[in-house]
Amino acid sequence: MPGVARLIELALEEDLGRGDVTTAAVVGDTGRVVSGVIVAREAMVVYGISVALEVFSRVSADIRAEPRVADGERVVGGTEVIGVRGPSAAILEAERTVLNFMQRLSGVATLSRRYADAVSGTGARVVDTRKTTPGYRALQKAAVLAGGSGNHRFDLGSGVLIKDNHIVACGSVTEAVTRAKQSAPHPLRIECEVETDAQLTEALDAGADVVLLDNMTPDQVAAAVKRAHERNVLVEVSGGITLDTIRAYADAGADFISVGALTHSAQAMDLALDFAA
């Protein structure tokens, strides 16, 4: 996965760069061999197991970590997620970095599942955005998939998405879509953000493949969907959509609903590493 190895290295460096003075003083360089488990303390969709195993192995080849569930699996509170055995000092040194990854990524996967469930039975697909934690994009987008929602663009090179500032920069929706159709790589669909009925008309007439309806009401979306689908144009909606409102947008006929909160506002889940007494 792009950049994950570097991210793990950075995470370990920031936590262990000057050593673990507490473990060195209390446990010693190695400590006795212990067994423990990472436990989910609340219901969640687990994600980050493969990252956790990599962190353990980088800290010490003597740590043996065994997954007890799979990434993307729904668990209840009290579920043992990973079993671990090895030198107590090494496990203690890896503990916080492992949990930091797993808590945050499981939060993304869990929120993704909630949004996917909220539109179940409709034709809508919830997708993420590029509003990710710097450096974490590959992991966060993988967690979104594990939770049941989809990925939008991974980066600026993976799709044409004409936004409001692009339109201002070149003068109009018509001009922006026309230039994109002339110059963008031919395999890429041309998507254009619109905020008004007039802009929607321009985007449809100019030949956009997808229109992004920004900050519209469900009733406005339903009317726009009818017009767009008559032209075989897909419809995405975005802008402040929450778990309380997303169903109305799905029922309005949106093909895609983009939700930045999947990655920028997911709450970390409660996981802990406990040694056997």
- Residue pLDDT, tens place only, 70-118: 999 999 999 999 999 999 999 999 999 999 999 999 999 999 999 999 9
In a domain, 186, yes or no: yes
**Which structural domain, as residue segments, surrounds residue 95?**
4-115+266-275
Q: Are residue 270 and residue 252 in the same domain, yes or no?
A: no
Is residue 153 flagged as an active site residue?
no
163 is catalytic: yes
Decide if 214 is catalytic: yes
Give 40-50 pLDDT, tens digit per residue: 999 999 999 99
The CATH number of the domain holding residue 250 is 3.20.20.70
Interval 204-232: pLDDT, tens: 999 999 999 999 999 999 999 999 999 99
Secondary structure letter of residue 240 according to DSSP: S
Strand, coil or helix: 8? helix
Total count of domains within the chain:
2
Q: Which long-range contacts (CB under 8 A, 24 or more apart) does 234-240 make?
A: 234/209, 234/210, 235/210, 235/211, 236/127, 236/191, 236/210, 236/211, 236/212, 237/212, 237/213, 238/129, 238/212, 238/213, 238/214, 239/214, 239/215, 240/215
The alpha carbon dihedral of 219, 224, 227, 230 has a sign of negative
Which of 117, 195, 209, 251 is the catalytic position? Answer: 195
Taking residue 220's Cβ as centre, other Cβ atoms within 10 Å add up to 16
- The verdict on residue 76 lying in a domain is yes
Q: How far apart, in whole angstroms, are the C-alpha atoms of residue 30 and residue 273? A: 18
Same-domain pairing of 193 and 254: yes
Q: Verify whether residue 131 is a known catalytic residue.
A: yes
Pairing of strands 234-238, 256-258: parallel
For the question of residue 226 being annotated catalytic, the response is no
Which residue of the set 163, 179, 181, 247 is catalytic?
A: 163
Are residues 235 and 185 both part of a single domain? yes
List the strands of the sheet with 64-67, edge to edge. Answer: 64-67, 80-87, 33-40, 271-275
Q: Identify the active-site residue in 74, 131, 227, 247.
A: 131
* Catalytic one of 64, 96, 114, 125: 96
The single-letter code of the amino acid at 22 is T
Residues 109 and 157 in one domain: no
Whether 29 shows a pLDDT value over 90: the answer reads no
Q: pTM for the full model?
A: 0.95
Are 22 and 76 in a shared domain?
yes
Tell me the per-residue pLDDT of 106-139, one tens digit each, with 9 for 90 and over: 999 999 999 999 999 999 999 999 999 999 999 9
Asked if 77 and 31 sit in the same domain, the reply is: yes
pLDDT surpassing 90 at residue 141: yes
CATH number at residue 50: 3.90.1170.20
pLDDT in tens, 168-182: 999 999 999 999 999
Q: Which of 71, 93, 214, 236 is catalytic?
A: 214
Handedness of CA 21, 23, 27, 32 (dihedral sign): negative
